[in-house]
Structure formats: C-alpha cells, structure tokens
Amino acid sequence: MKLTDFNVLTFDCYGTLIDWESGIYTALKPLLQPGDITLSRDAVLEIYARHESDQQKLTPAMIYSDLLAVVHRRLAREFSIDMPEEAHLRFGASVPDWPAFADSASSLQYLKKYYQLVILSNVDRVSFAGSNKRLAVEFDAIYTAQDVGSYKPDLANFHYMLGKLEARGVKPGAILHTAQSLFHDHVPAKQVGLTSAWIDRRHDQGGWGATMPAPDGSYDFRFTSMAELVKAHQEDLRAAS
C-alpha cells in the first residue's frame, strides 16, 4: 500500500493541522493563573479532554464555540475558581487564535497538487473559517460537527462525510483519512472501513494530552508530522517513475 494509491485526503484539523493543545493551554492560562494551578500542562490537557468529551456526548448538537464555553465553566468549577461570564465566552471564541503547526500550510499546498483535500472536524463553521486562514489552502470540502449535529468519534460524522463524498463521485477506497487522534478519528475510521494515516504529533511525549485514551486504535500509515507524510509521498512518486 502506498500514499499514491489514494486521491482524496480527509483531515481532522485540530491536533493534526492546528496545534490545538498549545492553543487550548494558552487560552486556559487566565483561568489557571488566578487559581495558582500547579498541574503540568499535560495534566491540565487531560482534565480538559475528559470534560470536552463528556460535554460532546451530553450536548452533541451544541455549537463548538458554545460547548467550549461550557467546558471552561466546568473547569472553573473543578478548580474552584470564580470567573466572569466574559471569560467563559472568550475561551469559547478562542479557536481562530490557535496556531497552525509549522509544517501544515506548506504541506497542504504541496498535497493539493495531487489530492482532493477534505476536512472532517469537531468544530463549528465560524471557528474553522478562522483556522482555515492559518492553513492557507482551499479545501475541496469542509464538514463540521455543526453540519452533522454530533461529534466524532460518533460514526454519524463519518457516514455524513462518506455520503457527501459519494455524491461527488468519491468511493471509500480512494480516501485516506489523515488524523492525529486515535480516539476521535482512527477508531471510527476503521469501523466504517477507511484506510487511515496517523499523524503522531505527540510521538515524543507520553500520555494522551487533550484527547481521550484509545490504546487499541489501529491505522495503516504512521508519520510524526505532515512534513514526514509529504516526504513519503515524494518517495512514492520517485519509486513509480
């Protein structure tokens, strides 16, 4: 199996293309500092992951920016910190401020020459529009949790995407689902029969960070960055020439 066997790359965005852990942690600092929270960054992100995942199951149709504000309120309660409503809303609106990984925009611009590029993300349309500016590429299709009414790892999100792509003439065998989160993406991708590439952004770190654990997640390709995926694609092209 080679990367050149596919002509559509479907992407998770946050954690894969956008450095959501840095974005989340930076946006949480106004909450952490007044309470003198001494937990490590990863410990904070793991607590965040628990609250976010639970809230997504409780309110699957809630717009992501609103859901983030609820998660911020939950964290404030857990840490016994009083915060004004404005602080919760500010965190909810922080997604466009989250930085892209350094290799994301250039990698996407290269891959755009060879693939259709599609987003399947646990986000709302307005928030993603802010992130898209950082990625500097025009995606062929964008499917958000707001469009579906649920959040990954719900299979409904993948069925929605596959249905939309089939209407565009794309068969599942042409798709390589490309994502960082085993929990949100690789486990459900396998359940719907997709081939997947793991962008293991946390390869040099322990734990699960801002995603829930998925120790049994499987995948077909593994790269530690988008730049590494691009390099592998270039090698496949050279081998075929």
Active-site residue among 12, 19, 124, 154? 12
Residue 132, by phi and psi: left (phi above 0), alpha (psi -120 to 50) or beta? Answer: alpha
Say how far residue 123 (Cα) sits from the centre of its chain: 9
147 part of the active site: no
Q: Are 109 and 139 in contact (CB under 8 A)?
A: no
Q: What Cα–Cα distance (Å) separates residue 162 from each residue in 73, 137, 149, 165?
A: 35, 22, 16, 5
Helix axes 20-32, 85-92, angle to 10 degrees: 170
d(CA 134, CA 128): 10
Burial 209-232 (b: 16+ CB within 10 A, else e): bbbbebeebebebebebbbbbbeb
Q: Read off the tokens for 61.
A: 């149709």
3 state DSSP class of 114: coil
Question: DSSP labels for 118-150?
Answer: EEEESS-HHHHHHHHHHHTS--SEEEEHHHHTS
Question: Any idea which residues carry the catalytic annotation?
Answer: 12
